[in-house]
Amino acid sequence: MVAESAGRVGIVFVSHSEKIATGLVELARQMAPTVRLAAAGGTDSGGIGTSFEKISVGISAANDGAGVVILCDLGSAILTAETVRDFLEEAEQDQVRIVDAPFVEGGVAAAVAAETGGDLDEVVAAAQSALHVMSEATLAIQPPAATGVSRTVILINKDGLHARPAAEFVNLASTFSVPISVNGTDARSLLSIMSLGLARGSSVQLTSTDPAAGPAINALADLLESGFGEQ
Active-site residues, by number, are: 16
Q: What is the distance between the alpha carbons of residues 109 and 127, in angstroms, rounded to a whole number?
A: 5
Q: How many CB atoms lie within 10 A of CB 109?
A: 30
3-state class (DSSP) for residue 118: coil
H or E element in which residue 153 lies = strand 149-154
| CA-based nearest residue to 112, from 35, 2, 216 | 35
Tell me the one-letter amino acid at 132.
H
Q: What is the distance between the alpha carbons of residues 122 and 102, in angstroms, rounded to a whole number?
A: 16
